[in-house]
Amino acid sequence: MEYEAVIGLETHVQLKTRSKMWCGCANEFGAPPNTHVCPVCLGLPGVLPVPNEEALRLTALTGLLLNCTIPPRAKFDRKNYFYPDMPKNYQLTQYDQPSTSGGYVDFEFQGGLSRVRITRAHLEEDVGKNFHFDRNSGVDFNRAGVPLMEIVSEPDITGADMAYAYLNALKDILVYGGVSDCDMEKGMVRCDVNVSVRPKDAKELGAKIEIKNMNSFSGVRKALEYEIPRQIAVLQSGGKLIQSTRRWDDVTGITEEMRTKEDAHDYRYFPEPDLMPFEPTEPWLEAVSSRVVELPLARKQRFMADYHLPAGDAQTFVWDRPLGDFYESLAPATKNPKALANWIINNLRAKLTESNSNLDQLKFAPTALVELVELVDSGKISSKIAQDVFGEMFISGGSPASIVERRGLAQVSDTGAIESFCDQAIAANPGPAADFRAGKVAALNFLKGQVMKLSKGKANPALAGEILEHKLRSGVSP
């Protein structure tokens, strides 16, 4: 029997706010342990939470970016559990009235577009971090109370690669929207992976197995590449799968069972009595709407359509947004947008990296790149010379035309001058000249190379080829 995988992801994302969710402590990674704490995020008795409005705005903004609706009312609930990383013994989250729900993400996958529906995105709070030493353990509460958004997908994902593509698309959207920096190294994105398998055309879903707390997208992919065949093998050998939670071990590359039962009622969810339900007003929603940005996929498609760029170039301009914006500020001014993209992606980017500088520090006027493309396209300079001109432009500024003028780099298209270079090349290389006459066509390239050398790269190469060929065929030799 053939089986298929069914996957739904719960993705936790730390929001990009200055302060924590319920107090004024800094939301900042990497500080010494327990330096961003106060009675509120330490869960001391008698304190009251004050909601971080920016976190509410960023969650609503995420809803808009993910095509969700924003209901008229959201509320917070206590999810009760006991663990040292959560001193209050409950986590504030949104249980049955989340900030936003019912959307979808479209993303590129296997040469086409795929869609994963979004169940909901709700707001909660991060917890502290446990550290285990030789003889004791410690908790760092700097992370406790950091605004955390959970994005729950419908079980629309069908394999490890699709999960990976979805997560990357989601991350790109959140980074674009300014919702989160999604820095994986800093643990800003974590993911619970729910996966089941079922016979290919079965209607019902199989037993859900949850792999908890994955902190890298490649880890998610690897875990699924292991877990899906494992589940299929269990069923094929006549075994049964039961709803359970597993742990991925990155070192051994396997998942192992942690526990088998866990239901919502175990958490005894109830509404947070210290917080009013949140009811967004029209102006509040309008302010959030004004922060909606063009999605990365739409930007890519637009770059391809408007400037006739290949997918790879367009993707580069999506991932490197400032570079894309820079390109876009110039593209309407050029007749050759593809060549302009090449200059920016290949040459300019390399120079910026090499000199450890950025686009704000350019010595030349950006429009100089448009000029440079034009000089090449009109045959005024060769593309090889253009590299030198660009190099000088980058170091000392100045317009390409003036550099060409000052250094006498203009391409020589004057037939007389090229003829004399051709004569010299033929005279100095009787062997290759004879080879060509004897039918060895490739010898022409060698001679052409010599002409370019003699002209210091300035001869118009097409013209040089023509003249050489004519001279060799007509037997006119000096």
Select from Zn ion, ligand ADP, none the partner in contact with residue 155, using the beta carbon and a kind-dependent cut-off of 5 to 8 Å.
ligand ADP
Q: Least distance in Å: CB of 150 to ligand ADP?
A: 10
Q: Largest alpha-carbon pair distance within the chain?
A: 103
> Quick check: 182 and 189 in contact, CB under 8 A?
yes
Q: Which is nearer to ligand ADP, 117 or 321 (CB)?
A: 117
Determine which residue in the list 4, 10, 225, 272 makes contact with ligand ADP, applying CB under 6 A.
10
Distance CA 195, CA 224 (A): 8
- Residue 470 φ/ψ, nearest 5 degrees: -60, -45
Q: Which is nearer to Zn ion, 35 or 445 (CB)?
A: 35
Q: Would you count residue 42 as binding ligand ADP (CB under 6 A)?
A: no
8-state DSSP, 424: H
Q: Tokens 């070192």 appear where? A: 251
Q: Tokens 């997560």 appear where? A: 167
Task: Take residue 464 and report the two structure tokens written for it.
Answer: 């040089």
Distance CA 253, CA 323 (A): 38
Quick one: how far is CA 36 from the chain centroid? 30
Q: Which is nearer to ligand ADP, 220 or 409 (CB)?
A: 220
Determine which residue in the list 31, 44, 205, 428 makes contact with ligand ADP, applying CB under 6 A.
205
* Adjacency order of strands within the sheet including 254-259: 100-109, 112-125, 147-153, 3-14, 189-199, 209-214, 244-249, 254-259
- Residues in 23-42 at the binding interface with Zn ion, rule: CB under 5 A: 23, 25, 38, 40-41
> Using alpha carbons only, what angle is made at residue 303 by residues 59 and 387, rounded to the nearest 5 degrees?
125
C-beta nearest to ligand ADP: residue: 8
Among the listed ranges 107-115, 194-202, 226-234, 369-377, the one in contact with ligand ADP (CB under 6 A) is 194-202
Q: Please choose, from the candidates 256, 266, 273, the residue with its C-alpha nearest in 3D space to the C-alpha of residue 82.
A: 266
Determine which residue in the list 106, 154, 161, 466 makes contact with ligand ADP, applying CB under 6 A.
154
Task: Take residue 102 and report the two structure tokens written for it.
Answer: 């019912």
Q: Least distance in Å: CB of 178 to Zn ion?
A: 23
Q: Least distance in Å: CB of 262 to ligand ADP?
A: 7
Pairing of strands 209-214, 254-259: unpaired
Q: Least distance in Å: CB of 112 to ligand ADP?
A: 22
Determine which residue in the list 26, 152, 287, 417 makes contact with ligand ADP, applying CB under 6 A.
152
Residues near ligand ADP, by CB under 6 A: 6-10, 152-155, 194-196, 205-206, 208, 264
Binding site for Zn ion (CB under 5 A): 23, 25, 38, 40-41
